[in-house]
Structures are given as structure tokens and as C-alpha cells.
Amino acid sequence: MSTIIHRVCVVCGKDNRHKNDSKYSKNEWKIKKCSVCRFVYLENAPIYELLIKDFAWEKTSGTEKAERKKREPFKQAISDYLKIIRKRYLKRDKLPKLISLHFNAGNVLDIGCGTGGILNNLGSQYVPFGIEISEYLSAIGNDIIREKGGRILHSDALSGTAKFEKKFFEGIIMSAFLEHEIEPVGLLNECFRVLKDNGKIIIKVPNYNSINRAIRGSKWCGFRYPDHVNYFTPKSLLAIVKEAGFSVHQFNFSDKHPLSDNMWIVAVKDKIK
């Protein structure tokens, strides 16, 4: 069985196999910029089973960071420092604020929940559910989340979401997840199915249009090989969210400005597909 799949553009469906690799390709990992819609993505992506075994987050994040530190200790130190400052003073409350502002009381799903840190901090009006591909991380979180009436499934995102009945959730969170997903539109379609009418989804992904990416090039923190497979811009993120049937609920300038490495969108299931 092949462990690598060939991907086409997830935004417009174009197969770019005959187009040259982007300058951001690294080793055997081919980054392509779609010749039709300009979406940037990893063309040869590892399949789920390989992700679980070899590229699971708790393994790759440590390696990537160590590699970066070795290459550019000073820049990495500044970058780490800025991250702490940003976390502490600027964006600390962004996700909790979005959740309490936009999610009605009820079941909430965090896709790619890790050890359940976000779920564990939800208000008591929410029942927490999570999906996590790493067996190790999901096991750590599950005991605590079970006490709150929910559970964490050890699964890939698509088959995990498919296990829930339709209209089960008031809200779904994908924070730093959709950039990893090989089938983002397929997953968003599943999210649409399991959300109640007027349910919301909050998505946070790296912004490929960020100024930092332009400055740092292939050393930008948004590049992770091979576990980031989608490099969204505000335009392409909007396109796939709409493709899955959602309407935009909040996507202001402050949610997607290029000074930040990340962007946020809140989308709503306000119509029938």
C-alpha cells in the first residue's frame, strides 16, 4: 500500500502535477501553487496511518523547533519571545471570546483537540467533545473530558466526525487544524452535517499572506513538512468554507490582517444544502 497520496488543488480541483514545484518545496515534499486559483498546497501528502506513526504532532513539533534553533538561534529566540508577548497581552482571550460570543449552550466539538486543553476550559454551559489523531494525546485528555459528560475520540478528523449523528453540535472548533487536513472540503461537509441549524464553526489557520511569510520565506513558522498540507490565504479559506455550504459570520480585518501569522473565521450553517 502506498503511504503517500497525490493531491489536486482543494479549492478548484486542478491537477498541477505537470507544473513546477514551488520554491518552498523541501526534500521530497512538493509544494505546488495552483495554476488556476493560486492556492498553495502539499502535493504528495502522507496518508493518515503514516501521520499517526511518524509525523504525529508531539514528535514533529519538537524536531522542527530544534532544527530551527540550530539554524537561526537568534531569530528563533526573538520569535519565541514575541509569541509569548502576543499570547500574554494580545490574543489570550480570542478563542474563548469567540466561543462565548458565537456558540449557543450545548455540545461543542474540538477537532484536533490534543490533550483537550481548549475543551477543559469551556464554560459549564458546554458539553465538550474532541477528536485527536494522536493516541497518546487523546488518552491523556479523555479521562478529564469524560467527567464533563463528553469524550475524546482517537481518530482522524473525517472518520471521527462521521461517527456523530447529524445536528449534534452547537459549535465546532478547528484551531490550528485545517492546515493539516488532506481533505478540508470533505471535513467541512461533515462539520456541516453534524452542526445544528444556525450552528457555528470557528477556524484558525496560518495566513499564507502574512508579512512574516514574505520576510522569512521558507523559514516562516507556517511551513511544516510534511504535516501542513494546506497554505490558506483569506480568499482560499473563504472559498472552501462557502463550498461546504457555510455563510461567513465573522471575518473582519482584525481576523485576517497580514501582521499576524494566523487568521480566524467564524462561519454559520444558516441554510440547507
Decide: is 118 part of the binding site for Zn ion (CB under 5 A).
Answer: no
Beta bridge partner(s), residue 216? none
d(CA 76, CA 36): 35
Cell of 155: 481518530
Q: Which is nearer to Zn ion, 162 or 185 (CB)?
A: 185
Decide: is 37 part of the binding site for Zn ion (CB under 5 A).
Answer: yes
Decide: is 139 part of the binding site for Zn ion (CB under 5 A).
Answer: no
Q: Which is nearer to Zn ion, 39 or 129 (CB)?
A: 39
Residues making up the chain, counted from first to last:
273
Stretch that binds Zn ion, among 37-45, 162-170, 182-190, 256-264 (CB under 5 A): 37-45
Q: Which is nearer to Zn ion, 221 or 244 (CB)?
A: 244
The size of the interface with Zn ion (CB under 5 A), counted in residues, is 8
Q: Which residue from 12, 47, 238, 239 is in contact with Zn ion, where contact means CB under 5 A?
A: 12
d(CA 194, CA 213): 35
In terms of Cα–Cα distance, which of 205, 206, 204, 123 is closest to 170? 123
Which residue type does 168 have? Answer: F
Decide: is 185 part of the binding site for Zn ion (CB under 5 A).
Answer: no
Alpha-carbon distances, residue 30 vs 37, 43, 93, 172 (angstroms): 18, 6, 36, 31
Residues 169, 160 contacting (CB under 8 angstroms): no
In terms of Cα–Cα distance, which of 229, 56, 225, 46 is closest to 135? 56
Decide: is 101 part of the binding site for Zn ion (CB under 5 A).
Answer: no
Residue with cell 482543494: 10
Q: How far does Cα 54 stand from its chain's mean position?
A: 19
Q: Which residue from 4, 8, 14, 239 is in contact with Zn ion, where contact means CB under 5 A?
A: 14
CB of 10 to Zn ion, least distance (A): 8
Q: Which residue from 6, 23, 26, 36 is in contact with Zn ion, where contact means CB under 5 A?
A: 36
Alpha-carbon distances, residue 160 vs 19, 26, 93, 217 (angstroms): 34, 31, 28, 35
d(CA 121, CA 73): 34
Decide: is 47 part of the binding site for Zn ion (CB under 5 A).
Answer: no
CB of 236 to Zn ion, least distance (A): 8
Q: Which is nearer to Zn ion, 18 or 271 (CB)?
A: 18
Q: How far does Cα 12 stand from its chain's mean position?
A: 20
Q: Which is nearer to Zn ion, 164 or 231 (CB)?
A: 231
CB of 5 to Zn ion, least distance (A): 17
CB of 11 to Zn ion, least distance (A): 5
Decide: is 137 part of the binding site for Zn ion (CB under 5 A).
Answer: no
CB of 247 to Zn ion, least distance (A): 22
Q: Which is nearer to Zn ion, 33 or 180 (CB)?
A: 33
Q: Which residue from 24, 39, 129, 223 is in contact with Zn ion, where contact means CB under 5 A?
A: 39
Residues that bind Zn ion (CB under 5 A): 9, 11-12, 14, 34, 36-37, 39
